[in-house]
Every structure is written in structure tokens, then in C-alpha cells.
Amino acid sequence: KNQVEQSPQSLIILEGKNCTLQCNYTVSPFSNLRWYKQDTGRGPVSLTIMTFSENTKSNGRYTATLDADTKQSSLHITASQLSDSASYICVVSAGDSWGKLQFGAGTQVVVTP
């Protein structure tokens, strides 16, 4: 069973609307959580990296939140644009010395005009 579960698998939103993606993880111990954006046919690109002591971090219209107690994270996209159409991947780093990365399967977001 994947230690990083994302929901929904996919969603369609209208341009200009907001949306929130969810990430639940069971990785323990945990050191940091990352959100990546992956455009179709491209490699993932980092949006945010949060340690267990951080509750929120923003990158432009992207805001990530983290609740290390409940092992949940969310990525909020504000005022979506067509360029936000992509897969968003949640990645959790284990708290061991090397920090093995566990990748979620991603949420596919489609922004329509």
C-alpha cells in the first residue's frame, strides 16, 4: 500500500476558480513534505517544501498546508489559470538519515476556459 495517498485522482475546474488538493501520508518518522507540479510530457518541478514544523507555505497562487499530527497536507490553487493544468504530486521524505522519498500518484487538474 502506498504510504502517500492523494485525492481526488482528477478534477476539472473553471478558469478563475479555486481548488484544493489533498494528501494523506503514513510515512513515519517524517522529515519534510513536498508538492511538485508536472506538466504533460515534462518532469516534475518543485512548488513547495515544508518541514514538520511548518504549517503553511506559499509560492505565488499555490499555498500548501501541513498538519503533521494528522499526517495531512493540502495544496490550494487560487484563481486558477489554464497554465495550472497539470498533475500535482505530493512527496514525503522519511525521517531517517538518508530521507527516502515516497511519491503519491498525483492529482490531475484540468482548468477549462
Partner 1 sequence: IAGITQAPTSQILAAGRRMTLRCTQDMRHNAMYWYRQDLGLGLRLIHYSNTAGTTGKGEVPDGYSVSRANTDDFPLTLASAVPSQTSVYFCASSDSALAGWGEQFFGPGTRLTVL
Task: Say if residues 102 and 4 touch (Cβ distance below 8 Å).
Answer: yes
Closer CB to partner 1, residue 64 or residue 91?
A: 91
Closer CB to partner 1, residue 2 or residue 26?
A: 2
Residues lying near partner 1 in the complex (CB under 8 A) are found at 2, 4, 31-32, 41-46, 49, 89, 91, 93-106
Q: How many H helices and E strands in the chain?
A: 0, 11
Give 3-state DSSP helix, strand, coil % of the chain, rounded to 5. Answer: 5, 60, 40
Shortest spacing between CB 38 and partner 1, in angstroms: 8
Shortest spacing between CB 20 and partner 1, in angstroms: 20
CA nearest 60: which of 45, 42, 43, 47? 47
Closer CB to partner 1, residue 79 or residue 105?
A: 105
Shortest spacing between CB 51 and partner 1, in angstroms: 10
Shortest spacing between CB 110 and partner 1, in angstroms: 16
Task: Say if residues 89 and 102 touch (Cβ distance below 8 Å).
Answer: no
Closer CB to partner 1, residue 69 or residue 96?
A: 96
How many CB atoms sit inside 10 A of residue 85's CB?
17
